[in-house]
Amino acid sequence: MDLRIEHLSKTYGNGTRALNDVSLTIPRGMFGLLGPNGAGKSTLMRILATLQEADAGSVQLGDIDVLRDKDAVRRTLGYLPQEFGLYPKVTAEDLLDHFAILKGITDRDERRRIVDALFEQTNLHGARGQQLGAYSGGMRQRFGIAVALLGKPGLIIVDEPTAGLDPAERVRFLNLLAELGENAVVILSTHIVDDVSDLCSRMAIIDRGEIRLEAEPATAIADLHEKVWQRTVDRAELVEFQRTHSVISTKLAGGKTIVRVVAEAEPSPDFEPAAATLEDVYFAALRRTSAAV
């Protein structure tokens, strides 16, 4: 079951164009949507989650018209927004049971089996009796996924899920998402390049409401093979250097700045070749956006 987005647009009342003619085809599995803050990622996610109206375009999930048949979408949707509230004095078990009832799972024995299985799947079984206020950030995110998985959704949307997680919690959470991608369309919306690099078989880069690149991560990296170069410059030279070169990223190291550029050939003898990364792909796409403005 693919998710097909065609010519989707959204402009807010203040004139901000959040989405401009966005078209994507997203197959089953993990799909990464990369973009900086304000790029339009959350607007797109809210429209797909039936929480916001589009101005134009169409979205089809299998045979479901997402923009018109919202009830059908909600029956097969699991959504973990960037920020979600929890009742801190309620236990995880009680709240997940409550959400299961809201999802239409009214048989007590069936509900108990489903809740037990979700706590096992999200590695929260030992903490199911704890109040949610005692949960760490990673535990809260995993509980959010447990809620999102109620009803065995065919479409799962997670918006900036690893922001603020420590490295160990991030790994646990990403491993869980990878498992989910085996049976559903899973959209991972993030500005963290490593999340997409580690998980996703396909990706898109969005900036200023438009899709700048859609590809397999490995293919996008291969397209920059032997086109990424780096050298160190003094910080006092950086502004002029950025004016004369296609700088995609800078990094401070040992009092000097390492700059990376994209070029078909060696820019000058001071440069050395660098192995391309998905971060280079991302910054190069954003730079093309800025250069076009």
Which tokens sit at 20?
């401009």
Q: Is 276 strand, coil or helix?
A: coil
Q: Is 171 strand, coil or helix?
A: helix
Q: What's the gap between Cα 139 and its chain centre?
A: 19
The H-assigned helical ranges of 88-163 are 92-102, 108-121, 137-148
Q: What is the pLDDT of residue 293?
A: 46
Tell me how far apart the alpha carbons of residues 18 and 33 are, in angstroms, rounded to a whole number: 15
| CA angle in degrees (0–180, nearest 5) for 181-187-192 | 105
Beta bridge partners of 205: 34, 213
Residue type, 54: A
Per-residue pLDDT of the chain (293 residues; tens, 9 = 90+): 799 999 999 999 999 999 999 999 999 999 999 999 889 999 999 999 999 999 999 999 999 999 999 999 999 999 988 777 778 999 999 999 999 998 889 999 999 999 999 999 888 999 999 999 999 888 888 898 899 889 889 999 998 888 777 888 888 888 888 888 888 999 999 888 988 987 898 999 999 999 999 999 999 999 999 999 999 988 888 888 888 888 999 998 777 899 999 999 998 899 999 999 999 999 999 987 665 54
Does residue 162 contact residue 173 with C-beta atoms inside 8 Å?
A: yes
Residue 210's nearest CA partner among 23, 56, 49 is 23
Q: What is the pLDDT of residue 160?
A: 82
Which tokens sit at 25?
């085809």
Which tokens sit at 228?
């990424």
Q: What is the pLDDT of residue 290?
A: 60
Tell me how far apart the alpha carbons of residues 277 and 228 are, in angstroms, rounded to a whole number: 9
Could you tell me which CATH class the domain 3-221 is placed in? Answer: alpha beta
Give residue limits of the domains in the chain: 3-221, 226-275
Residue 271's nearest CA partner among 282, 281, 260, 279 is 260
Per DSSP, which regions of 133-179 are E strands?
A: 155-159
Residue type, 1: M
Phi/psi of residue 8, nearest 5 degrees = -80, 130
Does residue 182 contact residue 135 with C-beta atoms inside 8 Å?
A: no
Strand 210-215 versus strand 228-233 pairing type? unpaired
Residue 46 DSSP one-character state = H
